[in-house]
Amino acid sequence: MEPAEPEHANESRRRALTRALRIALAFAISGGAVALLAGQVDWPRAYGAMRAANLTWIAVAIAWSLVIVWGRGARWAFLQPGPGLGIHTAAIAVQTFYNRIAPMRLGELTLPFLLRRYAGQDASRTLLLLIVVRIVELAVLIGLLALATLCRTGTAHRGWLVGMVVLLAAMTLLLAKFRLVTRLGLAVAARLARWTRVERAPQIGRAFARLEEAIQGESQLSRRQRMGLVAWTAILQLMQVASIDAILRAFGVDLDWLALTQGTAVALAGPALPLPSVGMVGTLEASWTIGFAWVGVPTETAILTGIATQVVTLLFAAVVALPGWWYLLTRAAERTRRSNKS
């Protein structure tokens, strides 16, 4: 009789299969969304529009994107001063690229990893802060969308406005009770780990302990830091609006500020949601098309500008990630040299 296969081997195979299915689903959703949108475009005419794009406005959009990367680094340096602006900006530049290509939003984990490795920051606390930042970003987007919709069309979309206000209130409550909600989630995860016997692995127990400590640490954000987080996020979202305005102008689309804000909020909300996709591929184009078609941009033009934005911003993220990696590696080498001398 052959010996029974170890239980942990079966569990590892099940996890690997589940991971593979999720990744396959992500590729299917991203590919399906892009194919569906691409099928509605007259590509010979679209090719002509791309060749006629105003490169000056593309350069303006890229300049705004550089400012946004710096602003995100400054926001993190404000929330977590230890590593400094340079380390945070470089880490975010690398994270931005991985967010664009990693399935299931796994690129988000890049920032906690990089700040732990190159700045000695606790990864669990950074992860919890990152969740808070993402919730605030989505809340600010919803707030901008509600305000722009109300100012532009009044109460014509009353149902949508009520839904946005309710969602905004729920997210505000979530942020106010973040520690409590996170503790409840951690308790559920711990019980699930015991039920599946995953807790037998030593690293799982250590991870739960670190997360519990990090939940306590989240309360270290002062009132000033919380208000600063909202202010920084609002400024960054308005910068996003300006960057997207430049891309639209490059293709001859000129929107007033309210319509631009309304369309941009919808366009950015899709990639902000935790959907199973490959980075932002598919979700950005779909939400972009919905948002700008809503404010009057012809559907084909909305699809074309959405695809162009995906290409331009992906190339930008790849180019900016390279000096980010170089900076992090250089700083690590400097610390090693100083350590060896001492």
247 inside domain: yes
Identity of the residue numbered 96: T
Q: Which two tokens stand for residue 198?
A: 């995953």
Report how far residue 292's alpha carbon sits from residue 308's, in angstroms, rounded to the nearest whole number: 14
Phi, psi (5° rounding) for residue 278?
Answer: -85, 100
Which one, of 309, 235, 280, 264, lies nearest residue 30 by Cα? 280
175 inside domain: no
Quickly list DSSP for 223-249: HHHHHHHHHHHHHHHHHHHHHHHHHHH
Report how far residue 30's alpha carbon sits from residue 281's, in angstroms, rounded to the nearest whole number: 5
127 inside domain: yes
3-state helix, strand, coil in the chain (%, to 5): 85, 0, 15
pLDDT given for residue 193 in this prediction: 55
169 inside domain: no
pLDDT given for residue 73 in this prediction: 95
Q: Which two tokens stand for residue 178?
A: 């973040």
- Using CA atoms, how far residue 300 sits from 255, 287, 308, in Å, is 16, 14, 12
pLDDT given for residue 323 in this prediction: 92
237 inside domain: yes
pLDDT given for residue 135 in this prediction: 87
pLDDT given for residue 87 in this prediction: 93
Do 308 and 302 contact (CB within 8 A), yes or no? no
The number of domains in the chain is 1
213 inside domain: no
Q: What domain range is 83 assigned to?
A: 7-38+55-154+228-332
Listed as own residue / partner, the contacts of 123-128 with beta carbons closer than 8 Å and 24 or more positions apart are 123/210, 124/207, 124/210, 124/211, 124/213, 124/214, 125/213, 125/214, 125/217, 125/218, 126/80, 127/214, 128/182, 128/211, 128/214, 128/215, 128/217, 128/218
Which one, of 284, 263, 248, 267, lies nearest residue 33 by Cα? 284
Residue keyed to tokens 């084909």:
300
222 inside domain: no
pLDDT given for residue 31 in this prediction: 55
pLDDT given for residue 226 in this prediction: 86
pLDDT given for residue 47 in this prediction: 60
Identity of the residue numbered 230: V
- Using CA atoms, how far residue 32 sits from 38, 103, 285, in Å, is 10, 15, 11
Flag residues of the chain having pLDDT under 70: 1-51, 104, 178-220, 273-282, 338-342
216 inside domain: no
Tens digit of pLDDT for each residue in 213-268?
A: 556 655 467 788 888 999 999 999 999 999 999 999 998 888 998 999 999 998 88
Tens digit of pLDDT for each residue in 52-85?
A: 778 899 999 999 999 999 999 999 999 988 888 9
